[in-house]
Structure 1
Amino acid sequence: MVKFGYTMMGEQAGPRDLVAHVVRAEKAGFDFSVTSDHYSPWLDEQGHSPYAWSVLGAAAQATSRIPLMTYVTCPTMRYHPAVVAQKAATMQLLSGGRFRLGLGSGENLNEHVVGGSWPPADVRQEMLAEAIEIIRALFGGGYVNHHGSYFDVESARLWDLPATPPPIGVAVSGQQSCRLAGRLADLMIAVEPDANLVTAFEGNGGTGKPRVGQVPVCHDPDRHEAARRAHEQFRWFSGGWKVNAELPGTTAFASAAAHVRETDVTDQIPCGDDPEVFAEAVLPYVKAGFTEIALVQVGGAAQLPYLDWAEKTLLPVLREL
């Protein structure tokens, strides 16, 4: 059975609100939750970007059932992989075994803040593979020394280790990342319902492993308001991830999306309060072979009304899928 998740979107709400939202999502019956891990929002209109790991720690204490996951963390530039391993191990302990570590090769938007050049995609994939090797070694216990192409680790040890390390997910967008994920990850992460990604992941060692997708939606009883809000806050995604990963800041995203029309957004994001329309947006992921689908409600102030509606109306419809 496909599982349906809730997204704590750090770009559109502050830390206290994000925790309150995931508490409500747990009560509403969502099967899992994910959270973005950004230093900056994509657009000024979104207006937020708190430190995801503090939010996750608070969420672990405020909830009791719902699984938590980064979607996704870049363990190569803004964070050193040894530090990511420590964070993830601590989260697994705080959450009582409910945490999964989603990893990706990063976006210039978030990683440029620590200085240095932005590497090409091939190099970012190599860095990610080496980072996962380090994280796995630290999860294994004992002291770790590593001197690789991109990272050094000197006598590092995680002193607080969970009995079961957090599963590692890897974000994919093409054949190269699918090969990496199939070989090194416990689950696949993607943001497009592409069956070819699932096939490539499974063909490279991912058979039987979870495949997690994500779908933006915009609930509002007034469909026109939902469409307006979706365009205001989510027009950034129109360029696709291969383009978006290269843009350095909100001004660049605003410029890239300057000619995106409201209809361009609503063609891809279901808006309004018809659960069947939302189910139609989710169905391609189901057909492509995804086992888990996280929904993103657009608009920070719109979360609680959406969660009330999702509990009573949307989730029962999605369960039928």
Structure 2
Amino acid sequence: MTRIGFHASHEQIGPAELLRNVQQAETAGFTAVMCSDHLEPWSHRQRHAGHAWSWLGAALATTTLPFGVVTVPGYRHNVTVLAQAAATLAEMFPGRFWFAPGSGEYLNEHVTGEDWPTKEDRQQRLGECLTVLRRLHEGERVTHHGAVTVDRARVWEQPEQRPAMFLPALTPETAQRFAPQVDGLITVNQPLANLRRMIDSYRASGGTGRLALQVHLSWAETEDEALAIAHEQWRTNVFSSRTMAGMALPEDYDRKAEREPVSPGQLRGAVNISADPGRHAAWLQEYVELGFEEIHLHHVGRCQQRFIEEFGEKVLPQFG
């Protein structure tokens, strides 16, 4: 059975309200939660960026749902500290926590002051971090010298069930490259053919475990309102991953969206936009048929209550 989860958007909603949102989502019938670890929002209109790791402790303690976080080792977060944080949550909440270490965006990581690496260098660093994380979670004392440096590190908290380590991937090439090092794959909604290639690349390269998908969507009482919400909140997120990986500040994203106005067609290519819950359910069914076992819904608006109620009543029962 596919889990339908709630994406907790730290970039758009303050941590206290977001905690209430996930509690409401559990009551409404959502069966999982995920979030992303951001220092900055994508736009000044989004206005928030709470500390995901601090928030996760509270969210896990006040619900019974499984949680995951997409995060980045090797820049803001020393890889050893990230391993310690993940092991701590896994020890307190057995079987309920996974994390997905990625190669990062300049938006969140430039604060370290180091030169921002090329994509290949970032991926080289990620590969090393995945190896270090695995060794630390297996109880080793680790010394490593490469793109990251680790000196005789050990994580003393060793949960009986180590946290699953997912790969966040946007391309088949990334899915193929790191498939042997992880326990599952998470990606974002794209055309079905692209998602199929991603899954095939991951599995053909030895990738095991669950397939998870984050779905950006906009729902409202009317089609025009759903489109307006997506345009107001998410138009800075339609650019290519290469472009987005290199911009440092929310105002850089805002200026680019002003210089290159985003059309409704571009928005609909990045966000599932509809006032009809049945249309959203049909999109979800297509993802289920591709093999995704966990689908996290990210309503791109800043008000989540009506979305949670509507989808809890009209969409989630179709996947129970």
- TM-score where L is the length of structure 1: 0.92
2:66 corresponding residue in structure 1: 67
Question: C-alpha distance in 2, partners of 1:45/1:262?
Answer: 18
Structure 1 segments unaligned to the other structure (5+ residues): none
1:244 corresponding residue in structure 2: 244
- C-alpha root-mean-square deviation of aligned residues, in Å? 1.7
Correspondence list, 1:163-182, <5 A: 163-182=160-179
1:56 corresponding residue in structure 2: 56
Correspondence list, 1:28-43, <5 A: 28-43=28-43
Q: Report the CA distance between 1:80 and its aligned residue.
A: 1.1
Question: C-alpha distance in 1, partners of 2:238/2:266?
Answer: 8
Q: Report the CA distance between 1:120 and its aligned residue.
A: 0.8
SS at match of 1:91: helix
Does 2:319 correspond to 1:315?
no
**How many residues of Structure 1 are paired with residues of Structure 2 in the alignment?**
314
**Aligned partner letter, 2:97:** F
Correspondence list, 1:112-191, <5 A: 112-142=110-140, 144-191=141-188
Question: Which digits, 9 at most, give the CA deviation of each residue in 1:245-294, with x for residues without a partner?
Answer: 12211122123323103453245433454112212333442343322211
Q: Report the CA distance between 1:298 and its aligned residue.
A: 1.5
Does 2:263 correspond to 1:265?
no
Q: Report the CA distance between 1:236 and its aligned residue.
A: 1.5
Structure 2 segments unaligned to the other structure (5+ residues): none
Identity %: 32
Q: 2:292 aligns with which of 251, 275, 290?
A: 290
**Aligned partner letter, 1:182:** A
Q: Report the CA distance between 1:162 and its aligned residue.
A: 1.0
1:107 corresponding residue in structure 2: 105
**Aligned partner letter, 2:187:** A
Correspondence list, 1:196-207, <5 A: 196-207=197-208
1:92 corresponding residue in structure 2: 90
SS at match of 2:99: strand
**Aligned partner letter, 1:216:** H
CA gap of 1:270–1:204, structure 2 versus 1, over 3 A, is closer
SS at match of 2:238: helix
**Aligned partner letter, 1:315:** L
Question: C-alpha distance in 2, partners of 1:48/1:158?
Answer: 31
1:280 corresponding residue in structure 2: 282
Contact 2:11 2:49 in 1 (8 A): yes
Question: C-alpha distance in 2, partners of 1:91/1:29?
Answer: 23
